[in-house]
Amino acid sequence: MSEFAPPPPTRILMGPGPTNVAPRVLRAMSAPTIGHRDPAYFQACDELVEHLRALFRTKNELTLALPATGMGSMECCVANLIEPGDGMIIGNNGVFSTRMADLAERYGAKVRLLKKPWGEVFSPAEIEGALKEAPAKVVAVVHGETSTGAMQPQMKQIADIAHKHGALLLADTVSSIAGAPFEMDAWGVDAVYTGGQKCLAAPPGIGCISFSPRADEALKNRKSKVTSWYFDLTMIRNCWNKNRFYHHTGPVNMTWALLEGLRMVREEGLDARIARHGKAAAALYAGVEAMGLALHVKDPATRLPTLTTVCVPEGIDEAKVRGMLLERHDLEFGAGMGELQGKVWRIGLMGENARSNNVYLALSTLGAALKELGAKVNIGAGIEAAAAKLK
């Protein structure tokens, strides 16, 4: 038998997620485990649903949590909306929209990809052009693309266009919810999913979804059973309503964790939390550029405030820099993925980490590592520029 693994080190998680979990959430997670049929658990689930509706800014009846990661939540939405042969248009501009296409094809969708360079976003006209070419049951976009740091604007206009052509709009908000504006009902988004491990500052392993009445009607009118038994919302929804149907063993302690994270969002105020993320991001952008580095997403209006992609200077080994930060400062940055592998660092300011001290930490440690490796950076200018945004 090999040696036991050591206890996990204490890290500052400023990558693409998970992020550092709030101490209150950790304490809630360590509460006594009770049965998933216990009245106290049902009461917690009812409260959690109300918080989720406030989070997504929706009144949707079909709103609940899942024992799944963000990818599991993505699969749940696709599995329930798609039947074999259904058309699906996916805005493809990063890793997670690429994964969605792979996933949808496994459920029998006829997928059409709208492709853009990684870091760019889609115009409503491009979505409408694709729908005019051929109809689709679902249009899917990633609101906050974790792999590129781009955020899709004009969601309401895209939803309006989808509805005009008889399609549903599905949105990935895993990296954006509670860190950037999102208005499910006001924008007309039909299905949304997220995970607890980013701006909600909860541990990974629990996801959240919401379906509009339009999406719910499509679910009820399916001609075939949902292909995935585990993610079949026609059964799972009855775990969360007065029927208290038994479908799976509820993730009891993860439910307490997510509930506490959502309580913290409600206490801070969703608008205030979003503003805090935006302020931290603006300071990071200013500091990075003043230091002499470039941001991958060029248009400030389409930058995701929770996840920033910083271009690696020519001649610098990005993995060596990340290794230096982890070894010396217990600080984690994310590497580039897919087309951006080796080309960017992904710096996350999410949840508890979207604060001024972490902006200064990111700039100073990254600048020092780059200077040691021979890059020309102005750390002082970066700190001053960030400070001006944090006043």
Confidence check: pLDDT of 84 > 70: yes
The pLDDT of residue 193 is: 98
User: Among residues of the chain, what percentage have pLDDT more than 90?
Assistant: 98
DSSP string spanning 20-83? PPPHHHHHHHTSPP--TTSHHHHHHHHHHHHHHHHHHT---SEEEEESS-HHHHHHHHHHHH--
Residue 140 forms beta bridges with which residues? Answer: 90, 170
Confidence check: pLDDT of 1 > 90: no
What are the chain's domains? 23-267 (3.40.640.10), 270-389 (3.90.1150.10)
270-291 vs 252-268: helix axis angle to the nearest 10?
Answer: 80
pTM value > 0.85: yes
User: Among residues of the chain, what percentage have pLDDT more than 70?
Assistant: 100
The pLDDT of residue 3 is: 85
The pLDDT of residue 65 is: 98
User: What are 175-197's pLDDT values in tens digits?
Assistant: 999 999 999 999 999 999 999 99
**In one letter, which amino acid is 205?**
G
Confidence check: pLDDT of 77 > 80: yes
307-311, strands of its sheet edge to edge: 307-311, 344-348, 334-335
Confidence check: pLDDT of 94 > 70: yes
Strands (E), 245-380: 307-311, 331-332, 334-335, 344-348
213-220 vs 233-240: helix axis angle to the nearest 10?
Answer: 120
Q: What is the mean pLDDT of residues 15-26?
A: 96
CA distances from residue 357 to 52, 109, 294, 383, 390 in whole angstroms, order as listed: 29, 46, 22, 11, 10
Average pLDDT of the chain is: 97
User: What are 255-311's pLDDT values in tens digits?
Assistant: 999 999 999 999 999 999 999 999 999 999 999 999 999 999 999 999 999 999 999
